[in-house]
Amino acid sequence: MTQDFSPAELAQHLETLESRLAYQEHWLDTLDQAVAQQERRLEKLEQISALMRERLREQHQALQSSDSQGLGRPEDEVPPHY
């Protein structure tokens, strides 16, 4: 099924397609920037998470070593007046 378009109609269709393409390119660029920004934020959050895991591991090890050396936790100690 073919339609015969006048030159003016063809020009209008072409202009419409070009406008849509420009709009889509704009939004692709916008989305690309958003994805890049999210990627940078994710990398920072992963670094923070790794640092927090390491600090937690260090604290856990410090607690274990103080327990193994006979040092109790402060809340487990009996005050001197008992």
The answer to the question of residue 50 being in a domain is: yes
The answer to the question of residue 71 being in a domain is: no
Check pLDDT > 80 for residue 2: no
The answer to the question of residue 56 being in a domain is: yes
The answer to the question of residue 42 being in a domain is: yes
Residues 6+ apart with CB under 8 A from 41: none
Predicted local distance difference test score (pLDDT) of residue 6? 94
Predicted TM-score of the model (pTM): 0.57
Three-state DSSP string of 5-74 = CCHHHHHHHHHHHHHHHHHHHHHHHHHHHHHHHHHHHHHHHHHHHHHHHHHHHHHHHHHHHHHHCCCCCH
The answer to the question of residue 13 being in a domain is: no
The answer to the question of residue 41 being in a domain is: yes
pLDDT digits (tens, 9 = 90+) for 42-67: 999 999 999 999 999 999 999 999 88
More confident call, 24 vs 66: 24
Number of compact structural domains in the chain: 1
Residue 26: give the domain boundaries: 22-63
The answer to the question of residue 74 being in a domain is: no
